Structure 1
Amino acid sequence: MKSFNIKPTSQCRYDILSLGEIMLRLDPGEGRIRTSRQFNVWEGGGEYNVARGLRRYFGQRAAVVTAFAKNELGLLMEDLILQGGVDTSLIKWVDYDGIGREVRNGLYFLERGYGIRGAVGCSDRGNTTISQLTAGEIDWDYIFGDLGVRCNAICPGTVHTPSHDDRLNATGDYDAALEAFKSRQPMGRLADSGEISPLVLYLLSEESRFITGQTIAIDGGWSA
């Protein structure tokens, strides 16, 4: 592999680039998956969601590295990604055999939780395109060399968010569930999102230009 070519922010094409699977998410609204005849569709993936959020809320220049089977579902997901303002030029397209025996695009069904009814999700992602990629199919020399992309990972502990509160409430005993989570933390408490976001912003800034290839835990000592 050629040498890293880390560039100043002003010379970079992107502020953030995500690598990971993106699936088509089907949402039955307030209904149930098993009885719904209509679904709203979204694009979704853990890494991509971060890139899209940074694009939407902070105006960051975002792109995604993923792989799609070249069919109508893949083209739909690409269009949804573009609607979110995320660059799709680094997507790897793979020919589709018409059946999905070799590669296919993944589906994820998510049913919202209400009150005591928890959220329900199920995925249909066997042989998805990105899972079938082999070494050399993504041009890392171009990404890390020519584009000068830096690669770092943030590993947070349990963070107190509205979504986490929903999960605690769904157990039927919020206080007991919260104490169980706290007991795993050496600091005896959960993190606040404001304790994670400064690290994200730092890694996106010019001040972190000499940091790459790092996994940074911000988990209150959990992994120590």
Structure 2
Amino acid sequence: MHWLAAPLVLYLFPSWFRNGFVLGTVLVLVQYLSLLAAVLAQFQSRLLEAESKALDLAFLDPLTGLNNKRHVHTLFDQALVLATRPHQVVAVFYIDLDNFKPINDTAGHAAGDEVLKTVAARLKGSTRSTDICARVGGDEFVVIGTQLDSEEQAEGIARKLLAQLTMPVLVNGRSHALGASIGIGLHPRHGSTLPELMQCADQAMYYVKRNGKSGCGVFQGAPAARTA
């Protein structure tokens, strides 16, 4: 509009030529810088979005949205920092689903994926915001209970998880029976690192699985003590 109006302005005010040229140049420069700023802002937004997606792929299980095995180690270290009181307990629950393979074999992998998503939702719904839920294998999950007041509280959480995981799962109008074997490793009694606690919880889980499945047990060396 400035340049289109320039001939009329110069006709009426001949002395305005220099000022009008300077004003037009400033307006063009402002427009160019505004356009450049908009392009850079859009580029930054896309870069941040791509970075966020990359972090999700690095730290989250793509199917269930839970933390993956790689990220759970970092979260465990953070949980230990939060367990500041001397009597606090951190519990690692190693969960292996029972009767999951027949669902994949009879209903297909798509139905199996929906079952895993339901399991993940039930785990999240049965734990606190400070607890950690992760998928560490095909049908294997880990829950880390943080800032627990006693080992008995850990066993109560395991029974709560078991009650949720033994409920039938409805997929496409079809009900699927499911179960879970849960082993429990306790910090500091069984170890101070996540690999140590996961190994203890894994052994306790296998003891439960060998003795009837669909139960939970605390690691006691050999054998573990079945609590449900």
Per the normalisation by structure 2, the TM-score is 0.20
Structure with the higher fraction of residues in helix conformation? 2
Q: If the length of structure 1 is used for normalisation, what is the TM-score?
A: 0.21
Larger Rg: 2
Asked which structure has the greater RCO (Cα within 8 Å, sep 6+), the reply is 1
